[in-house]
Amino acid sequence: MPKYSLGFDFGTESVRVLVVDIQDGRIAGQSSHNYAHGVIDRELPTSKQQLPPDYALQHPQDWLDSLSSACRDAMRQARVDPNDVVGIGVDFTSCTMLPAKADGTPLCLLDEFKTIPLAWPKLWKHHGAKAETQRINDVARERNESWLARYGGTIGLEWFFPKIFETLNHAPQVYQAADVFLEAGDWLVWQITRGPFPRCSTRELTRSTCQAGYKGQWNAKTGYPSREYFAAVDPRLADVVAQKMTGEHRSPGRKSGGLSSASASLLGLRPGTPVSAAIIDAHSGVPGAGVASPSTMVMVLGTSSCHMMNSRVEQLAAGISGVVEDGILPGYFGYETGQASVGDAFAWLVKTFGLSHETLNREAAKLPPGSNGVLAIDWFNGCRTPLMDADLSGAFVGLTLGTKPEQLYRALIEATAFGVRWIVDTMRDAGIPVRRFVASGGLPAKSPLLMQIYADVLNEKIQLAESDQSVALGAAILGCIAAGPEVTGYAEISQAIRAMARPREDLVYRPEIANRAKYEKLYELYRSISGCDGTLAGAMRELRQFHQATC
């Protein structure tokens, strides 16, 4: 009798539910359902008041409603008996967070707070906490906080405590009234295992080591930053951890609880079905790509790119967005690095030139490495790893009166490849081995040219993840693991991952030996103009010489 696990994959606009056979990872059913309110970035649904341009909120009821629809639909498609569902995994965008009461009720659903924007869940891309992020970083650097090095030296604008601090500064009554601030992934797990609200209790709240570690400066050994640190940031924040951060931390794959009866009937599932602790959506792509072993980098390539890896080694290096023990899979140090702009930079070019991806891809593929003399810097949305600087911007260098759009397009692809290479070099230079590469996300299947350039620039073989839904599949795998070996038959986590997902053996990009020296030179140029000791003019001269020598 086949058994199944479910992946609940909460994205920015919708939730997707996957019903997966735990024996081989076959997807037996799937469905997605958009959130009724989508991203709330123009006006508040209640008061219709205009929101500032850097605001991005969500409606918590949407998550439950859309989940119910998608789950029932996926189960119906799969024709699976709820009794054959052994476990559930949940991935969620992060840091998407909200203030709630001790019974699980989001503050924004209470009459008293429903017209206050900062009482609503802040989506990951809510950018209202600029001043607070600055202060949080300044004080951490002044005090030389030891945890800062785990985040490459910089706390991000989109993270957890900047969003709390913003609430304290701009809506102190919300801060006061909140019994707890929590990640949306943790809130969702809490709701389906203990609720839904108002049936929950903070005594039974679990939090994911993934979300807490990558976005909340939490660490298994030392916990959150100290009372003294928070007091130095702002005296009113001194007790934030004691007062607002209740909850026990569990790593993804560990069981947070079983489905509550009320939630089971909401979802059409069996009460008591084990639910794994949540995971950040991108990080779920690691098990979802079938990567169980350390030192294999999973590159999730999309509008932006996120590169994750488990390692036995703990080393801190500049610009790594986070190093978290048990952050992705238990037993390993999980590394997260990223590029802030990849597919969306290509989309900018397509839109700005009024051309199509197809045309540009086709013409770009005819060009040699180096795009006939054009070099791009890919920081159209700032640089994440390794410089951690949102103020950096994109650039094109090497333009002449004969430069064509396809040169700019290929140069942008090459620039993002140099960006990955820089990340890998940074990790290796720090002593973190990076041995294998698996690509997932939307771009690999769309652009063989991009994959070949990445393989050439890295001078490494790159396998493609099998599923085009590796994030949701990863959640389902974590659900299977949470069910435990006696139910699933998998003694080791790695067995479950290898059985349910695997990189494709038949679709592997290998580096072209002929291009190796060319891309080495171009990468040097990219580093010299994007680094801190290069000059633009010098790079231009070398670039031109390079172009002339290779055309």
Binding site for its own copies (CB under 8 A): 341, 344-345, 348, 352-354, 373, 377, 379-381, 387, 389, 391-401, 403-405, 529-541, 543-545
Measured from the CB atom, is 82 or 382 closer to its own copies?
A: 382
Min CB(358)–its own copies separation in Å: 17
> What is the side-by-side strand order in the sheet with 333-339?
322-325, 333-339, 305-311, 296-301, 436-440, 462-465, 503-509
Q: How far is the CB of 548 from its own copies (least distance, A)?
A: 9
Q: Which is nearer to its own copies, 401 or 513 (CB)?
A: 401
Q: Which is nearer to its own copies, 334 or 394 (CB)?
A: 394
Cis peptide before 2 (omega within 30 of 0): no
- Minimal distance, residue 51 CB to its own copies, in Å: 18
Q: What is the DSSP string of 317-361?
A: -TT-SEEEETSSSTTSEEEEEEES-SHHHHHHHHHHHT--HHHHH
If the CB atoms of residues 404 and 516 are measured against its own copies, the closer one turns out to be 404
Contact 501, 290 (CB under 8 A): yes
In angstroms, give the least distance from the CB of 415 to its own copies. 11
Residue closer to its own copies by CB (options 401, 514) is 401
520, two tokens: 């080495």
Residue pair 442/419 in contact by the 8 Å Cβ criterion: no
219 bridge partner residues: 223
Alpha helices by DSSP H, listed for 430-530, are: 443-446, 448-458, 470-483, 485-488, 493-500, 516-530
**Cβ proximity to its own copies, 414 vs 466, nearer residue:** 414
Q: What is the nearest approach in angstroms of its own copies to the Cβ of residue 528?
A: 9
CB distance 276 to 89 below 8 Å? yes
Nearest distance from C-beta of residue 11 to its own copies, angstroms: 19
CA distance 526 to 379: 12
Find the shortest distance in angstroms from Cβ 394 to its own copies: 3
Task: Find the shortest distance in angstroms from Cβ 533 to its own copies.
Answer: 7
For residue 208, what are the β-bridge partners? 250
The DSSP letter of residue 462 is: E
- Closest approach, Cβ 383 to its own copies, in A, equals 9
Q: Which is nearer to its own copies, 323 or 543 (CB)?
A: 543
Nearer to its own copies, 138 or 228 (CB): 138
CA angle 101, 105, 110 (to 5 degrees): 95
Measured from the CB atom, the residue of 198 and 531 that comes closer to its own copies is 531
DSSP reduced 3-state for 158:
coil
Q: Kindly report the backbone phi and psi dihedral angles of residue 479, in degrees, each rounded to the nearest multiple of 5, phi listed first.
A: -65, -40
What's the min distance (Å) between Cβ of 444 and its own copies?
22
* Strand 255-258, strand 274-276: pairing: antiparallel
Rounded to an integer, what is the distance from CA 137 to the centroid of its chain? Answer: 21
Which residue, 203 or 351, is less far from its own copies as judged by CB? 351
The vertex-480 CA angle with 211 and 250, nearest 5°, equals 30
